[in-house]
C-alpha cells in the first residue's frame, strides 16, 4: 500500500486514524465533505461530496487502498441515508474499481445486525437484521462489497464497528466498545493481510461482555489489547436506577431498535 485514502476523515474515527496511521503508509489521502485541517508531511487533503461521482473519481485516483468511513453515521431520514450511504457508497466502490484499487476496508456497523437479542452470541455468518434505515444501508454496503470482491477481485474487509471511543460510555457500549488502537490494528489487517478477498469481522475490543463471536477476526490475526471491563463499575453506577426501554434493552442495537417501533409482538 503506497497511497491510502480515508473517506470521512473529519469524523471521530477518521481523525483518530489520521494520527495512528501517520507514517505507516507513504501517503495518506484524507477526504471529507467538510474542510479538513491542512495536510502535513505524507498527507494529502481532499474535499469531496460522495454523491458526486465525478468528484469521487478524482478522490480515488492513484490510490491503492481505501478506508471507507464516509457517509451518514447514524439514523436519519431516508433521502439523507440514500445520498450518503447508498449512492455515496456505490460511487466509492465503482470509482475504486475503475481506478484499480486493490483493497477496501469498509466501516459497516453493529446496526446491520442490531435486531439480534442481547442473549444471543452472533458471528460473522449471521444474516443481517438491521435495526434502522441506517442499519439497512450498512447491510447494503456489505452486499455491494461482496459483489465487488466476487466480480472484480477487490479485497474487502467489512468491519462491523460497535462503538468507537477512548472508553465505553454506557452499559450497552460495554459489550460493543472498540478502542482506537484496536481499530487501527483491524484496519491494518484489512489493508495488509495477503489473503483477504471478502471478510466480515466485528470491530470490537476483547470485551468480556461481548455479544460477538469474533473468531473470524482472530483467524486473520486480530489480537485486541483492550477490554471494557475496567470501566464497568463506573458505567453501571452512573446508570443505576435509570429506567430502560424494554425493546432497547432486549436487542443489541439498543435505542436504534426502539425508535419508531410499532410491532405488537417482539420478534425473538
Ligand atoms: C454506529 O454505527 C454509529 O456510527 C455510532 O455513532 C454509534 O451510534 C454506534 O453505532 C453505537 O451503536 O453505539
How high is the mean pLDDT in each 10-residue block of the chain (268 residues)?
Answer: 98 98 98 98 98 98 98 98 98 98 99 98 98 99 99 98 98 98 99 98 98 98 98 97 95 98 94
pLDDT of residue 9: 98
SS3 label, residue 67: strand
Q: Strand pairing partners for 30? A: 6, 45
d(CA 254, CA 180): 22
CA angle 172, 187, 74 (to 5 degrees): 40
pLDDT of residue 211: 98
Active site (annotated) includes residue 134? yes
**26 alpha carbon to ligand 1 midpoint, in Å?**
30
CA angle 163, 165, 169 (to 5 degrees): 70
pLDDT of residue 239: 95
Count of residues in the chain: 268
pTM of structure: 0.98
Per-residue cell: 231 = 470501566
Residue linked to cell 437484521: 129
pLDDT of residue 66: 99
Q: Strand pairing partners for 3? A: 27
Ligand 1 neighbours by CB, cut-off 6 Å = 73-74, 109-111, 161, 163, 173
d(CA 121, CA 108): 18
CA angle 90, 190, 27 (to 5 degrees): 85
**62 alpha carbon to ligand 1 midpoint, in Å?**
31
d(CA 251, CA 172): 10
Per-residue cell: 24 = 505507516
User: Catalytic one among 134, 183, 212, 251?
Assistant: 134
Distance of alpha carbon 203 from its chain centroid, rounded? Answer: 7
Amino acid at each position: 500500500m503506497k497511497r491510502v485514502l480515508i473517506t470521512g476523515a473529519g469524523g471521530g474515527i477518521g481523525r483518530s486514524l489520521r494520527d495512528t496511521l501517520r507514517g505507516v503508509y507513504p501517503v495518506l489521502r484524507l477526504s471529507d465533505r467538510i474542510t479538513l485541517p491542512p495536510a502535513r508531511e505524507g498527507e494529502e487533503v481532499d474535499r469531496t461530496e460522495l454523491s458526486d461521482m465525478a468528484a469521487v473519481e478524482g478522490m480515488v485516483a492513484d490510490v491503492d487502498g481505501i478506508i471507507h468511513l464516509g457517509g451518514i453515521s447514524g439514523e436519519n431520514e431516508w433521502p439523507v441515508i440514500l445520498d450518503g450511504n447508498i449512492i455515496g457508497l456505490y460511487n466509492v466502490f465503482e470509482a475504486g474499481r475503475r481506478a484499480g484499487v486493490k483493497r477496501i476496508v469498509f466501516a459497516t456497523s453493529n446496526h446491520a445486525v442490531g435486531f439480534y437479542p442481547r442473549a444471543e452470541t452472533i458471528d460473522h455468518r449471521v444474516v443481517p437484521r438491521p435495526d434502522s434505515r441506517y442499519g439497512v444501508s450498512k447491510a447494503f454496503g456489505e452486499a455491494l462489497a461482496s459483489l465487488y470482491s466476487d466480480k472484480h477481485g477487490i479485497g474487502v474487509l467489512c468491519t462491523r464497528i460497535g462503538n468507537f471511543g477512548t472508553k465505553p460510555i454506557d452499559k450497552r457500549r460495554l459489550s460493543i466498545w472498540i478502542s482506537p488502537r484496536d481499530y487501527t490494528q483491524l484496519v491494518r489487517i484489512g489493508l495488509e493481510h495477503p489473503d483477504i478477498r471478502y471478510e466480515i469481522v466485528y470491530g470490537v475490543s476483547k470485551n468480556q461482555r461481548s455479544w460477538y463471536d469474533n473468531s473470524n477476526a482472530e483467524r486473520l490475526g486480530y489480537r485486541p489489547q483492550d477490554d471494557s471491563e475496567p470501566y464497568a463499575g463506573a458505567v453501571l453506577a452512573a446508570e443505576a436506577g435509570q429506567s430502560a426501554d424494554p425493546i432497547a434493552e432486549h436487542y443489541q442495537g439498543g435505542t436504534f431498535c426502539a425508535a419508531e417501533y410499532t410491532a405488537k409482538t417482539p420478534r425473538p
